[in-house]
Amino acid sequence: MSLPAEHWREARNLRLAACLRGADPMLEALGLAREGVLRRAVGLTLEASGCSAPLGARCRVETSGGRWVDTEVVGFAGDRTYLMPTADLEGLLPNARVVNTHRRGEVAVGEGLLGRVIDSDGAPLDGRGAVRPENRVGLAGTAINPLMREPISRSLDVGVRAINALLPIGRGQRIGLFAGSGVGKSTLLGMMTRYTAADVIVVGLIGERGREVRDFVETTLGAEGLRRSVVVATPADRPPLARLHGALRATAIAEWFRDRGLHVLLLMDSLTRFAHAQREIGLSVGEPPTTRGYPPSVFARLPQLVERAGNGADGRGSITAFYTVLTEGDDQQEPIADAARAILDGHIVLTRRIADAGLYPAIDVEVSVSRVMQEITDAPWRARIRKLKQLMAAYNTQRDLIAIGAYQHGSDPLVDEALARWPAILQFLGQDVGEAADIEASRAALARVLDEALPPSNDPARKPA
Ligand SMILES: Nc1ncnc2c1ncn2[C@@H]1O[C@H](COP(=O)(O)OP(=O)(O)OP(=O)(O)O)[C@@H](O)[C@H]1O
Ligand SMILES: [Mg+2]
Is 2.40.10.170 the CATH classification of the domain at 35-100? Answer: yes
Provide the 8-state DSSP code for 455.
P
3-state secondary structure of 264: strand
Closest C-alpha residue for ligand 1 atom 8: 184
Regarding the beta carbon of 274 and ligand 1, being less than 6 Å apart is answered no
Count other Cβ atoms within 10 Å, centred on residue 96.
20
445 Cα to the center of ligand 1, angstroms: 25
Regarding the beta carbon of 162 and ligand 1, being less than 6 Å apart is answered no
Q: Which of 32, 27, 31, 95 is nearest to 61 (CA)?
A: 95
Alpha helices in 39-184 (DSSP H): 161-166
Structure confidence at residue 50 (pLDDT): 86
* CB 73 within 8 Å of CB 107: no
Structure confidence at residue 43 (pLDDT): 83
| Ranges in the chain, pLDDT < 70 | 1-7, 10-11, 13-34, 330, 332, 455-465
Where exactly are the structural domains of the chain? 35-100, 106-377, 380-451
Structure confidence at residue 464 (pLDDT): 42
Q: Interior CA angle at 273 toward 272 and 279, to 5°?
A: 90
| pLDDT digits 0-9 by tens, 45-67 | 899 998 888 888 889 999 888 88
Closest C-alpha residue for ligand 1 atom 5: 360
Environment class of 140 (CB within 10 Å of its CB; exposed 0-12, middle 13-18, buried 19+): middle
| CA 113 – CA 132 distance, rounded (Å) | 8
pTM, whole model, 2 decimals?
Answer: 0.87
CA dist list (Å): 192 to 157, 205, 229, 273, 421: 9, 15, 12, 21, 28
Regarding the beta carbon of 361 and ligand 1, being less than 6 Å apart is answered yes
Count other Cβ atoms within 10 Å, centred on residue 81.
27
248 Cα to the center of ligand 2, angstroms: 19
Q: Which of 107, 112, 162 is nearest to 137 (CA)?
A: 107
| CA 79 – CA 209 distance, rounded (Å) | 39
| CA 31 – CA 134 distance, rounded (Å) | 26
Provide the 8-state DSSP code for 217.
I
- Torsional sign, CA 163, 164, 166, 168: positive
Regarding the beta carbon of 356 and ligand 1, being less than 6 Å apart is answered no
| CA 18 – CA 12 distance, rounded (Å) | 10
Structure confidence at residue 7 (pLDDT): 65
Regarding the beta carbon of 184 and ligand 1, being less than 6 Å apart is answered yes
| pLDDT digits 0-9 by tens, 348-389 | 999 999 999 899 999 999 999 988 888 899 999 999 999 999
Provide the 8-state DSSP code for 294.
B
Give the DSSP per-residue string, 306-371: HTTSEE-BTT--EEEEEEEEE-GGG-TTSHHHHHHHHHSSEEEEB-HHHHHTT-SS-B-TTT-EET
- Spell out the CATH class of 380-451: mainly alpha
List, as ranges, residues with CB under 5 A of the ion ligand 2.
185-186
Regarding the beta carbon of 179 and ligand 1, being less than 6 Å apart is answered yes
CATH number of 106-377: 3.40.50.12240
Regarding the beta carbon of 100 and ligand 1, being less than 6 Å apart is answered no
| CA 423 – CA 414 distance, rounded (Å) | 15
Q: Interior CA angle at 211 toward 205 and 214, to 5°?
A: 70
